[in-house]
Chains A and B, each alone.
Chain A
């Protein structure tokens, strides 16, 4: 925008400068010619009396007195003889019938002034040839001053245009930076309203929007906290009641049912809290999360004598998932493998790109799933296995991807989370 404004100023200024300086330059040229003709007329007039009545010798003296390098003067007497320094009369013939002063321009640019003088013996003509030097006197100087002035004005207009453009674009650039920070989830970012009225309006609107998002998230947080309170309070009462049952077997059944209920409720609350965790934009580097979570679980894998293979790209893989969500999903998947396969059975984690999506696979060499399609849809009902996969499935879905569960022909199980790219 700034560049365009400067270009606009450059175009306008150059047109205006040309429109003024070109006629001015022509005018200066004319003025110099007129001044030379006026001088020639003066000199020529000063010898008119002598030419009218003087002898040839007197005329010759008078001519020598007024002629110099720049004004070559000659007098053609009525007899046809020429007094003074002759110049090419063949190329510049004098009209013998001349009755009034005449100015002639020669093809080479020089100018001749012819002044007829009546004598008793006929009409003599005083011709004054002006040199180029005198005709152009001061023109080049005036032109160079004019050119310098034009260039200075042009440069000045560019500087002023740039300043103006900057004062207009700076608030816009700052607005863009604020919007970018808000987009990254920094809800405390506010624009400093400034610049032209329209831009100031946009800044104020952006600030109102940011405040509103903050309010909505705070409200969401309150709602989830309230949900959590309303669900967990009765479960607490239920658990305390269940624990007070005297019969051991009944108490065991009741408390494990309460445990299951609690896990379900935890899961619901966790899911309800997703928007709060994500904030304005869910985004994390899957490479670093996967590498960190694998490193965390690796110690247990070693204690269980399991082989672990890890394939990771050596650069960040940005995905549309908040870091805590991806951590929880990885913990669920890795925890599942360690819980549901025999100790000593190896497993592997691989992260690879597929177009803009990122695929995170956890593979084990265990017996595999009986019916993978049930688990994929999250309808397993298989206690913790299902719950772990549920977390991974919902994380993948929320990112715009999907969860794939397979039992390959060669044995084992592969769970793959396809994670979508972060919003542009």
Chain B
């Protein structure tokens, strides 16, 4: 269990070669309550992670001295510290390779500080509970984050990966209206274009699989012009 998290400040190690990103992220994450140390090179980062173990590592995959995935494997051989990788390569191969090498989550550049912060918190929460309570329950709905399965009223739901991510994101914030812009940024890691219907069509599918319709919503409620919320049981 990370010593810092939950008791106050989590110590983060940022391994990123671009000075501007390092500076901006150090400041932005610092403002969001983390203690941030940074290293510009892979080997420096590895040394730092061994000498002064952080609660979480944010690792850029495009480092000048060593491929980020290789560094991740080296790091995994000595430490179980949670790692979020940042990649400019959005092709699935690289992401899958990084997750296979032991990354806990990933963000695609250009990411926002809020999106990264949300992922940092989620990963720290998961690693602090260590899988024991990785299930979110809202009324009849149970979402198992580790097993990536969802059950509604005892019936398992057959969800596509994005639908699961969407449901998990909403279930973690019951009764909170989340804008489509936020969903696109946080779940899809894509910039909002103002008229994008990607979120809407996935919400339609999700509704169907939850066994409800837009006209008679039960769990998923659309607040016109604002966003969507997953409604938990009263009280």
Once the chains are docked, how many angstroms separate the CA of A330 from the CA of B18?
37
Knowing A229-B62, A299-B204, A300-B200, the reply to whether A243 touches B109 (Cβ < 8 A) is no
The reply to whether B208 and A383 form a contact with Cβ atoms under 8 Å apart is no
- Most chain A CB within a 10 A radius of its CB, from B113, B190, B195: B195
Q: Which of B22-30, B36-44, B49-57, B168-176 contacts A (4 or more CB under 8 A)?
A: B22-30
| Chain A contacts for B114, CB-based, 8 A | 243
Knowing A240-B28, A243-B114, A263-B191, the reply to whether A235 touches B109 (Cβ < 8 A) is yes
| Chain A contacts for B196, CB-based, 8 A | 335, 339, 384
Within the complex, the shortest CB–CB distance from A279 to chain B, in Å, comes to 14
- Interface size bracket, B side: 35 or more
The reply to whether A297 and B201 form a contact with Cβ atoms under 8 Å apart is yes
| Chain A contacts for B191, CB-based, 8 A | 258-260, 262-263, 266
Partner of A240, one of B25, B90, B192, B208: B25
Within 8 Å of chain A (Cβ to Cβ): is B118? no
Q: Find residues 192-245 in chain A having any chain B CB closer than 8 Å to their own CB.
A: 225, 228-229, 231-241, 243-244
Specify the chain B residue showing the minimal Cβ separation from A241: B24
The reply to whether B18 and A240 form a contact with Cβ atoms under 8 Å apart is no
Within the complex, the shortest CB–CB distance from A397 to chain B, in Å, comes to 22
Within the complex, the shortest CB–CB distance from B47 to chain A, in Å, comes to 23
Partner of A384, one of B21, B27, B91, B193: B193
Once the chains are docked, how many angstroms separate the CA of A253 from the CA of B24?
19
Within the complex, the shortest CB–CB distance from A332 to chain B, in Å, comes to 10
The reply to whether A383 and B113 form a contact with Cβ atoms under 8 Å apart is no
Once the chains are docked, how many angstroms separate the CA of A273 from the CA of B191?
19
Partner of B20, one of A237, A385, A387: A237
Partner of B89, one of A229, A266, A300: A229
Within 8 Å of chain B (Cβ to Cβ): is A163? no
Q: Find residues 331-353 in chain A having any chain B CB closer than 8 Å to their own CB.
A: 335, 338-340
Within 8 Å of chain B (Cβ to Cβ): is A296? yes
Query: Residue-by-residue, is B45-72 near A (CB-CB < 8 Å gives 1, otherwise 0)?
Result: 0000000000000000010000000000
Partner of B112, one of A231, A243, A300, A338: A243
Partner of A303, one of B113, B194, B207: B207
Once the chains are docked, how many angstroms separate the CA of A211 from the CA of B113?
43
For the complex, would chain B's binding face be called helix, strand, loop or mixed by DSSP majority?
loop
Specify the chain B residue showing the minimal Cβ separation from A236: B110
Within the complex, the shortest CB–CB distance from B175 to chain A, in Å, comes to 22
The reply to whether A244 and B88 form a contact with Cβ atoms under 8 Å apart is no
Partner of A338, one of B20, B25, B190, B200: B200
Partner of A225, one of B89, B195, B213: B89
Partner of B193, one of A259, A299, A302: A259
| Chain B contacts for A233, CB-based, 8 A | 18, 21, 62, 88, 109
| Chain B contacts for A303, CB-based, 8 A | 200, 204, 207, 213-214
| Chain A contacts for B88, CB-based, 8 A | 225, 228-229, 231-233, 236
Within 8 Å of chain A (Cβ to Cβ): is B146? no
| Chain A contacts for B91, CB-based, 8 A | 225, 273
The reply to whether B198 and A335 form a contact with Cβ atoms under 8 Å apart is yes
Q: Find residues 272-306 in chain A having any chain B CB closer than 8 Å to their own CB.
A: 273, 296-297, 299-300, 302-303
Partner of A244, one of B24, B86, B205: B24
| Chain B contacts for A258, CB-based, 8 A | 110, 191
Once the chains are docked, how many angstroms separate the CA of A300 from the CA of B207?
10
Specify the chain A residue showing the minimal Cβ separation from B22: A237
Once the chains are docked, how many angstroms separate the CA of A335 from the CA of B28?
35
Once the chains are docked, how many angstroms separate the CA of A335 from the CA of B20?
36
Q: Find residues 70-102 in chain B having any chain A CB closer than 8 Å to their own CB.
A: 86, 88-91, 94
Within the complex, the shortest CB–CB distance from B205 to chain A, in Å, comes to 5
Once the chains are docked, how many angstroms separate the CA of A338 from the CA of B91?
27
Once the chains are docked, how many angstroms separate the CA of A255 from the CA of B20?
17
Once the chains are docked, how many angstroms separate the CA of A296 from the CA of B205?
8
Within the complex, the shortest CB–CB distance from B59 to chain A, in Å, comes to 14
The reply to whether A384 and B214 form a contact with Cβ atoms under 8 Å apart is no
Within the complex, the shortest CB–CB distance from B14 to chain A, in Å, comes to 12
Within 8 Å of chain A (Cβ to Cβ): is B5? no
The reply to whether B109 and A339 form a contact with Cβ atoms under 8 Å apart is no
Within the complex, the shortest CB–CB distance from A269 to chain B, in Å, comes to 8
Specify the chain A residue showing the minimal Cβ separation from B107: A236
Once the chains are docked, how many angstroms separate the CA of A139 from the CA of B203?
98
Partner of B113, one of A238, A243, A266: A243
Q: Find residues 215-229 in chain B having any chain A CB closer than 8 Å to their own CB.
A: none
Knowing A228-B90, A229-B62, A303-B204, the reply to whether A262 touches B110 (Cβ < 8 A) is yes
| Chain B contacts for A260, CB-based, 8 A | 191
| Chain B contacts for A255, CB-based, 8 A | 112
The reply to whether B109 and A232 form a contact with Cβ atoms under 8 Å apart is yes
Within the complex, the shortest CB–CB distance from B30 to chain A, in Å, comes to 11
The reply to whether A238 and B28 form a contact with Cβ atoms under 8 Å apart is no
| Chain B contacts for A299, CB-based, 8 A | 201, 204-205, 207-208
Once the chains are docked, how many angstroms separate the CA of A255 from the CA of B193?
12
The reply to whether A238 and B208 form a contact with Cβ atoms under 8 Å apart is no
Q: A300-B197, A384-B196 are in contact. List 10 more A-B contacts (CB 8 A).
A: A240-B25, A241-B24, A243-B112, A243-B114, A259-B191, A259-B193, A299-B207, A340-B195, A384-B194, A385-B195
Q: Pick 14 A–B contacts, CB within 8 A, sort by A.
A: A231-B88, A233-B62, A236-B110, A237-B18, A239-B112, A240-B28, A243-B28, A243-B112, A243-B113, A258-B110, A262-B191, A299-B204, A338-B200, A384-B194
Leading 10 A-B pairs by shortest Cβ distance: A240-B24, A237-B20, A339-B195, A259-B191, A236-B110, A232-B88, A299-B204, A303-B214, A232-B109, A235-B110
* B interface residues (Cβ-Cβ under 8 A, vs A): 18, 20-21, 24-25, 27-28, 62, 86, 88-91, 94, 109-114, 190-198, 200-201, 204-205, 207-208, 213-214
